[in-house]
Structure 1
Amino acid sequence: MNTYSTPAYGSGSYGGGGGGGSGYQSCMQMCAASYGAPTMASSTWSSPPATTTVAGGSSGMTHTVIVAPTQGVLRYVPFAINASVGDTVAFIWNANNHTVTKSSQLAICNKTEDIPFTSGEQNKSFVFTQTVNDTNATFFYCGTPGHCQKGMFGIINPPNAAGSSGAVSSMMSSMASNSSNMTAMVKYAQMMTAGDPMAATWGGNIDMSSMPASSYQYVLENVMYTRTFLAANPETLSADGSVNLSDAGTTPLMVPKDITVAASNSSTGTSTPGYGSPTSASAGTTSTSSPSPTLKGGARSLGPSSIIVSFVAVSLAFVL
């Protein structure tokens, strides 16, 4: 299994030659040349070791984010995590041809020059780690052409807006009221999470109000996909609302169909399938935390959204 660890990001200093400068690019090129990732025929993904060495060291916990749970599903799972200073975020590729690249909240599909990090395009089983140096919201996306524009992005320490009109829980119903496709996706997510209130309301406090309007649809899609993933794998969702991949052990992880399948099928009148084939996972000892009620809080944009936003309160409250 190939691993690559970069210097920490956040308020600390960056040791790779400066933000976005030639030293950084040179470092990235050298590391990519030294750690090329193989294409694997196996359907399993491997977790990083219990301790991962990163520049500057890390004494906190490790949060795992799956980069594309299967080929063709352009999602990070979970979409958002809460991490404390000193924690490590381990990105694990479960499909080919994806990147993890830091962006900004206002230009989600554009690489930032503000203490940047990027994995380069990698393949299945590659592991990329980052150490958290502050609790500011950090956005990342897949730099493979077209992937971010279809919604492949995620957040570390998403902004919190519990109970406000800008929260996911408040936006979902109002946006669905103006879009038949969004309505179909919401109904599908509700069906897939029925009987699991924690999964059904995961991510409800994430604040969307400061994000570009063109991202709203994709934020909701990402939240709903994570909800279906958690409901399909209830052993990964702890009683406190955190996602613990170590509980999976050798139990195969069920990978739901992408949430957009529901929208496509609503247009054709066909039924929406539930899951794809199970993906066997050996999750080791890493874990990842889901958003909670105490969340901390340009040049190219996301694909256009046909959704007209009106703010209507709904009953989808985030539950720990």
Structure 2
Amino acid sequence: MYTKSILMSSLLLAACSMAQDTTTGSSSQMTGPDGSMVSVQVVQVSNMNASLKFYPEEIRAEAGSMVQFQFYPRNHTVTQSTFDRPCEPINNIMPNVTGINSGPMPPVNNMMKVFTIMINDTRPLWMYCATGDHCEKGMVMVINAPQGGERTLQSYKALAARVSENGTTTSTGSANGTVPGGTTEPSTGSASSVVDSMVGATGVAAALFAGFALLL
């Protein structure tokens, strides 16, 4: 009980800190169930103006850390794809890979929906919103983009803009994901979904605590 009380206090403090700056992303260190420090980063899915954008669009997250997606007005998703086919769920392309997919997250009674993932390794995770044409309009992001080379967020976004109505890319070239030497870098970075919940404006700490409770 004592350990859980300390953990809850840490989560409450961290949530207050996160709430101060969700337009540019934020992160906090908190004590995990084994006593180690666990990093939790917040990614805002859209904003109060219903922009078709993630805030931020690119982050780095270490293995063992968590990323919490907070959904703002309109219906959005957080769905994993490959780099080369940015607006398709990764399991449609690679059936042996489950991938991350929050499913539709429409607002309900002014409550903020939250989807949290645990990062299992530092390979790239290419993510997009699968609602309507949001992906084609640039609602994409990346966790742990490759360092150097042509596989950048801007290249991924350019590929998404070329997706046709049937969900396939309509052009190739330098933005097709081929890295120097003619090889392609694996896009099957690993993460696990932890929490799929709905919280009010002051309920972020509860969602974070629920994620850690699964680890206790």
Question: TM-score, length-normalised on structure 1?
Answer: 0.36
Does the aligned pair in 2 maintain the 1:48–1:90 contact within 8 Å?
Answer: no
Q: Residue 104 of structure 2: SS of its match in structure 1?
A: coil
Number of residue pairs matched by the alignment: 136
Written as runs of structure 1 = structure 2, the 5 A alignment for 1:29-48 is: none
Aligned partner of residue 146 in structure 2, secondary structure: coil
* Deviation of the 1:92 alpha carbon: 0.4
1:155 aligns with 2:159: no
Q: Secondary structure at the match of 1:149?
A: coil
Q: Which residue of 2 aligns with 1:146?
A: 133
How many Å separate the matches in 2 of 1:65 and 1:100? 10
1:95 CA drift (Å)? 1.7
Shift of the 101–207 alpha-carbon distance from structure 1 to 2, 3 Å rule, reads closer
> Secondary structure of 1:102's partner?
strand
Structure number with bigger Rg: 1
Gaps of 5+ in 2: 1-21, 92-96, 176-216
Alignment partner, residue 102 of structure 2:
119
Which residue number corresponds to residue 66 of structure 1?
Answer: 44
Say which is worse superposed, 100-109 or 75-84, in terms of deviation: 100-109
Structure 1 residues 145, 302: CA separation in 2 closer, same or farther (over 3 Å shift)? farther
Matched, 1:84 2:62: yes
Equivalence for 2:199:
none
Q: % of aligned pairs identical? A: 30
Inter-partner Cα distance in structure 2 for 1:93 and 1:77: 11
- Report the equivalent of 1:93: 71
- Equivalent residue, structure 1, for 2:159: 214
Measured against aligned partners, the alpha-carbon deviations of 1:164-188 in whole angstroms (never above 9, x if no partner) come to 6x48xxxxxxxxxxxxxxxxxxxxx
Pick the structure with more helix per residue: 1
- Structure number with higher strand proportion: 2
Contact 2:86/2:159 (<8 A) preserved: no
Distance 2:39 2:168 in 1: 33
Q: How big is the shift at 1:213?
A: 5.5
Q: Alignment RMSD, CA only?
A: 3.8
1:73 to 1:304, Cα distance in 2 relative to 1, 3 A? farther
Q: Following the alignment from structure 1 to structure 2, what is the Cα–Cα distance between the partners of residues 304 and 70?
A: 34
| Aligned twin of 2:167 | 300
- In 2, the alpha carbon distance for the partners of 1:215 and 1:63 equals 25
C-alpha contact (below 8 Å) 2:47/2:72 kept by paired residues:
yes
